[in-house]
């Protein structure tokens, strides 16, 4: 039988992950008086970055599969660092390309905030949809006789364990996805403001800084989660978000805007 409390909290988690970025985007555009299109360009920057990054990750996974090139402990650390660095490289690279070639007139702090809300917003929405689909699958699997499914005994046992773990989770853990998206959205908005400095300050090192800050945030989140659990990970990400927020408002200071061609 499906737990009614967990059904509600899991559903709330998915809905919040989808609704939150939409509400934030609307508020930002109206309060800062920026263009709606910046949200769309931010979303497209994220999608484009993953369109390039994910095939690379899948290809490397297929290439290394079955090869015993490192111990499990080293492999775990390598995976965390590599995934984090590629996230920073591709996402911040896509952000920079957007500023450089598409939204060449978006050079205000307010524009960066909107651009970042679109980037982080579409990520949250995608995760929210996936969370909703996972809930639907788990509801269906909970009510099925797994022996009737075309699976091997090993697959059946893995599915059973996964379903049991899903429906036995503490309720407060089931809404952490929405909490994490708040921190991630804050990070993405700040990263957009950091990359903008390449053009307003004529300094490309801001792009490198954004890539490294993005990677560090991911390393902290995943690393702490594996070492101390999900609640500790969200606490660490909250600290990252607060530091990012402070940097975001520090970057609001007026700067001299330079031509995009010079910054490139």
* End-to-end Cα distance, the chain: 59
pLDDT band at 260 (very low <50, low <70, confident <90, very high): very low
pLDDT band at 65 (very low <50, low <70, confident <90, very high): confident
Q: Which domain holds residue 227?
A: 4-263
pLDDT at 1: 67
Q: How many Cβ atoms are within 10 Å of 247's Cβ, its own excluded?
A: 15
pLDDT at 261: 46
pLDDT at 74: 85
- Among 158, 157, 164, CA closest to 142: 164
In terms of Cβ atoms closer than 10 Å to its own Cβ (0-12, 13-18, 19+), residue 22 is middle
Percent of the chain with pLDDT over 90: 82
CB 113 within 8 A of CB 28: yes
> Structural domain tally of the chain?
1
pLDDT at 229: 96
Q: 33 or 71: whose pLDDT is higher?
A: 33
pLDDT at 62: 83
pLDDT digits 0-9 by tens, 31-63: 999 999 999 999 999 999 999 999 999 998 888
CB 22 within 8 A of CB 100: no
pLDDT digits 0-9 by tens, 204-238: 999 999 999 999 999 999 999 999 999 999 999 99
Average pLDDT over residues 107-122: 98
pLDDT digits 0-9 by tens, 137-153: 999 998 888 888 888 88
- Among 250, 175, 140, 162, CA closest to 15: 175
């Amino acid at each position: 039988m499906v737990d009614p409390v967990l059904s509600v909290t899991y559903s709330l988690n998915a809905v919040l992950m989808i609704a939150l970025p939409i509400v934030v985007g609307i508020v930002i555009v109206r309060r800062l008086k920026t263009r709606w299109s910046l949200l769309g360009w931010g979303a497209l920057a994220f999608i484009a970055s993953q369109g390039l990054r994910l095939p690379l990750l899948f290809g490397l996974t297929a290439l290394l599969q079955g090869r015993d090139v490192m111990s499990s402990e080293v492999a775990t650390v390598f995976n965390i660092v590599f995934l984090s660095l590629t996230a920073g490289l591709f996402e911040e690279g896509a952000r920079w390309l957007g500023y450089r070639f598409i939204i060449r007139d978006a050079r205000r702090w307010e524009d960066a905030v909107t651009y970042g809300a679109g980037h982080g917003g579409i990520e949250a929405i995608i995760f929210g949809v996936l969370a909703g689909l996972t809930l639907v699958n788990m509801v269906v699997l909970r009510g099925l006789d797994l022996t009737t499914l075309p699976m091997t005994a090993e697959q059946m046992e893995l599915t059973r364990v996964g379903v049991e773990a899903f429906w036995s989770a503490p309720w407060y853990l089931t809404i952490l996805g929405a909490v994490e998206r708040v921190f991630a959205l804050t990070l993405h908005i700040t990263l957009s403001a950091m990359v903008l400095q390449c053009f307003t300050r004529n300094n490309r090192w801001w792009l490198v800084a954004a890539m490294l800050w993005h990677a560090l945030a991911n390393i902290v989140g995943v690393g702490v989660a594996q070492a101390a659990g999900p609640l500790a990970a969200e606490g660490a990400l909250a600290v990252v978000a607060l530091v990012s927020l402070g940097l975001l408002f520090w970057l609001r200071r007026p700067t001299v805007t330079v031509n995009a061609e010079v910054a490139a």
